[in-house]
Amino acid sequence: MPLIQNNPRIKNLDKILPIIEMYPCLQGEGQFEGRPIFALRTTGCTHRCHFGAGGWCDTWYSSIHADKGKYTFNDFVRLTEQYPHIKEIMVTGGSPTMHPAILNELSHFAHQHKIFVTLETEGSHFIETDYPLDFISLSPKFSNSTPKLGIKTPLEKVVDDKFIQQHHKYRLNHDAISKMLAYHLDYQIKPVWDGSEKTLSEIKKFLFQHKIPNHKVYVMPAGQTREQLIALYPKVMDMCLQEGFNFTGRTHIIAFDDKREV
């Protein structure tokens, strides 16, 4: 496939980028759970997710109250040199598709070094990297992710109408999602389920609209802490068994609770 020459690249690899975390770990969710990877977390998000009893987005520091970037691309290159046996990268956020130059630079780096790239995304934007990414881990956000008017964020900001409107601005961008799944090499759908019939109905509607087979679906319980997740595990597991979906635990939260960079 020819390179798309107008795609953005990072011109200065020593410039601080909107990257707030990078570390080696084991994949905690989905099809590749348990495999060694490099996690690279961008900051900034199009969404403002709150899952009721499941709490706020477990990485609210990259979304609702986004930290400032602190790493360069060369910092990431040096990290990969420290762990030459790890051959997978997971780019997560926040919303990584807000940063096309980072994703495109990673596509070149991964192609050169034969590294597998997973992009975790809510699907707000379609990004056409020069080299298609190996795997899209898509977590579409349904109505159960909408914050309620008047509640407080993790840093005590009161949710107003503008906050909720921002959450809905790119939520379920079906055109971007369709293009993303068609362009890149493989995918999984990783929805968050809160145990409600309403959300299950929305998940099924989404899968029908995008012609997603059940074996591509890995359902996660809602929750930002070990306690919240464990309370919902049995119900989500039972639903997956009945509907023919895959269940995915959130191993990193079960192991480390709400600790960062694990």
- Strands 19-26 and 36-42, by their bridges, are antiparallel
Query: What is the DSSP secondary-structure string of 29-77?
Result: SSTTTT-EEEEEEE---S---B-GGG-B-TTGGGTTTPPPP-B-HHHHH
Q: What integer pLDDT is reported at residue 166 of this predicted model?
A: 95
| CATH H-level superfamily of 19-256 | Aldolase class I (3.20.20.70)
Please tell me the least confidently modeled range out of 123-137, 214-228, 235-249. Answer: 214-228
Distance CA 61, CA 59 (A): 5
Tens-digit pLDDT profile for residues 40-96: 999 999 999 998 887 899 899 999 999 999 999 999 999 999 999 999 999 999 999
Identify whether the C-beta of residue 45 lies closer than 8 Å to the C-beta of residue 124: no
- What residues does each domain of the chain span? 19-256
- Adjacency order of strands within the sheet including 192-193: 192-193, 218-221, 246-247
Q: How many whole angstroms separate alpha carbon 243 and alpha carbon 75?
A: 44
The mean pLDDT value for 128-144 works out to 96
Question: Which range among 118-127, 132-141, 195-204, 222-231 shows the weakest confidence by mean pLDDT?
Answer: 222-231
For residues 200 and 241, what is the distance between their CA atoms, to the nearest angstrom?
14
Query: What is the pTM (predicted TM-score) of this model?
Result: 0.94
